[in-house]
Amino acid sequence: MKIEQFCEKYNLGRVLNVSKLTGGFMHKMFKVETIKDVYAIKVLNQEVMRREGALNNFLVSEEISNYANGNGIKAAVAIKIDGNYVTEYEDNHYMVFKFVDGKVLKDDNITIEHCRKMGNLLARLHSLDYKILGLCDDISEDHFYVDWEEYVNNENFKKMKYKDEYLNNYKKYYSLLRRSVERYNESNETQALCHCDMDPKNVMWVGDEPIIIDWESARVANPIREVIEDALCWSGFLSNNFSEEKFKVFIEEYTKVYSIKHNIYSLICGNLIGRFGWLDYNLKRSLGIKANEIEEIELASNEVSKTIDEINRYVELIPVMYRIICDLKEHDDNEFDSVVEKIINSNKWLYGLGFKRVNSGFTNTIYKVGKYILRLCTDVENEYRFKREIELYSKLKTIKNVPRCVLSDTTKKVVPYYYEVIDFIDGNTLYEIWYKLNEVQREELVKKIVEVVKEIHMIEVEEYDFCKYIKDKLISLILDCDIKIDMDRLLSKCDVYFKDNKFGFIHNDLHFDNFIYDGNDLYLLDFERCMAAPIDYDLRIFNRYNEEPWLWASYTTDMLTIENDYNNFMNCFISNYAELNEISYLEERLNIYKMMDYLENYKDNRAEEKKDRILDLLKKVID
């Protein structure tokens, strides 16, 4: 770098003093005092500038910052030198700005009022018409993938101070990144002008007024992703001091100007892509793959540790952010409050008790009322199963690990919904604790799961031709899916596999969100799908836990649920349930159940990879 010569060549004045500014992670920033003025000069990272389209991105971002600045959003804009925002000189690229004599706020100094101002400012930026600049929508799918194992095998990895942190976390990144990309793509809709890096380090405060700096990432992008990320950063997340109040105020102020629409949960999860990208980039820099300067390698190493920690904390905060945003939306959790009040006022068991909406349940609306749980059947299509569950509670009343149903009503005389009231169990779902446990603790919990499930299975039921039931379902699904399968061979295998069946009363919806653990006892909930069937048929969901356990998790635990944590679950369950080991062809039966689920899924979404896994499973079943 030859800053003195650069300044002289381009008439910025003879340099009096140069001091390095902190805060830049990719580029180097200097305060340069000359006889003419005081400048902030950015020396761009050459590795970045070698990327295709990098120079054009800087030019576009400067057009955006100038446009924002002309519309009441104070921005630090680059000074044109010989008509250019970016100047190449002696193998380096430079950008020159007027030096802003302000301060960057640390998290401890950020107030509610700062969050309020930033929420409003961001909404005004998103409201600008980007088409005036000739920019187009940029809705495209992301296919970001990283081989995280490759970094462990790098020759420099063992020297890294973040080695242990990375080894403790990287295996779950395959699942988290894949699912983040899926959520990103399914929510990639709304477009607006975005800064894309408006965290506190890129806002200079002159008195009470914010001036936005560092616009290099500015582009047309999804505005809701940006508001979620910025609200998070301005609410103390970066320093591990997250404030729900600051987050809420930022979002609340934003929505007064710019509305937040659908797909909020997917947007929040999709935002993880940015942190994974930053982790990937800094792993390459720290390991010498994309950097060779000691200072840059050290800086990148620190960023790896910091980003690993941020990813873990972000995943924990996903349900919190989602809840806050949902509560601020127009149609929030109060929709059925008046219905609940009528139920409470009409019943002596509940009269005078307070109530609160519970954010769980896939098909029903749930409230906590005093020491009870009130379940409203707000989906008419689910009424048959809901009523059936109420009837089943009489059969289950002697089982201690099933909550007591204290009252129910399917007459619709009080309110236009079926409802039931059951005892509240003060504990956690198994999804909420499983990821925190070691293998020894998990095995002890599996034994409790087996005990509860086994007691349900012991209820006597009337047997029927289960083999015919399975074959009929397979035929129907295969015809609906229009997949070429050796049907005769498959059905003949079913005659062998399902000749003998150990019947019982099965729950038929066994997943970890339907188990509550209070630290001592385990309770099983939600009996809407119960049926008479062979006991191994109850393991259909459990049998998929080593592949996609999150499919049955609520939003509170979805991204905390990783398949690696369930690799040993089914083996452990079966080994502790002796009667399962007496079932002939257990593995083949479980594979047929799984294939039926795959077919059901393929029927609704005929993705080629889903067809491939059906055919792969078929080979295991019929060979």
What are 107-160's pLDDT values in tens digits? 999 999 999 999 999 999 999 999 999 988 877 888 999 999 999 999 999 999
Kindly tell me if the per-residue pLDDT of 621 is higher than 90. no
162-172 pLDDT per residue, tens = 999 999 999 99
Pairing of the two strands 503-506 and 428-429: unpaired
Asked whether this chain's domains 1-99 and 333-423 adopt the same fold, the reply is yes
Kindly tell me if the per-residue pLDDT of 332 is higher than 60. no
Could you give phi then psi for residue 523, rounded to 5 degrees?
A: -120, 145
Fold of the domain built from segment(s) 333-423: Phosphorylase Kinase; domain 1 (3.30.200)
The domain segmentation of the chain, as residue ranges, is 1-99, 333-423
Structure confidence at residue 360 (pLDDT): 60
Distant-in-sequence, close-in-space partners of 10: CB < 8 Å, separation ≥ 6: 81, 82, 87, 89, 96
CA 330 to chain centre: 23
Mean pLDDT estimate for the chain? 92
Q: Hey, CA dihedral for 487, 489, 495, 496, is it positive or negative? A: negative
| Residues 352, 370: Cα–Cα separation, whole Å | 9
Structure confidence at residue 331 (pLDDT): 47
| Residues 528, 513: Cα–Cα separation, whole Å | 14
CA 102 to chain centre: 36
Let me know the angle formed at the C-alpha of 213 by 224 and 122, rounded to the nearest 5 degrees.
Answer: 25
Per-residue pLDDT, averaged over 364-379, amounts to 92
Q: Hey, CA dihedral for 77, 80, 81, 84, is it positive or negative? A: positive
| Residues 510, 526: Cα–Cα separation, whole Å | 9
Kindly tell me if the per-residue pLDDT of 46 is higher than 90. no
String of DSSP letters for 377-429: E--GGGHHHHHHHHHHHHHHTT-TTS--EEEEE-S-SSSSSEEEEEEPP-SEE
Lowest mean pLDDT among 48-52, 197-201, 351-355, 359-363: 359-363
Would you tell me which CATH number, out of the four given (3.30.200.20, 3.40.50.720, 3.40.50.1980, 3.10.20.340), belongs to the domain 1-99? 3.30.200.20
| Residues 496, 80: Cα–Cα separation, whole Å | 80
Kindly tell me if the per-residue pLDDT of 198 is higher than 70. yes
Structure confidence at residue 334 (pLDDT): 67
469-489 pLDDT per residue, tens = 999 999 999 999 988 888 999
Distant-in-sequence, close-in-space partners of 326: CB < 8 Å, separation ≥ 6: 264, 332, 333, 359
Per-residue pLDDT, averaged over 388-400, amounts to 87
Per-residue pLDDT, averaged over 587-602, amounts to 94
Residue 187 banded pLDDT, cuts 50, 70, 90: confident
Structure confidence at residue 395 (pLDDT): 81
Lowest mean pLDDT among 107-121, 337-351, 437-451: 337-351
Per-residue pLDDT, averaged over 195-202, amounts to 94
Kindly tell me if the per-residue pLDDT of 361 is higher than 90. no
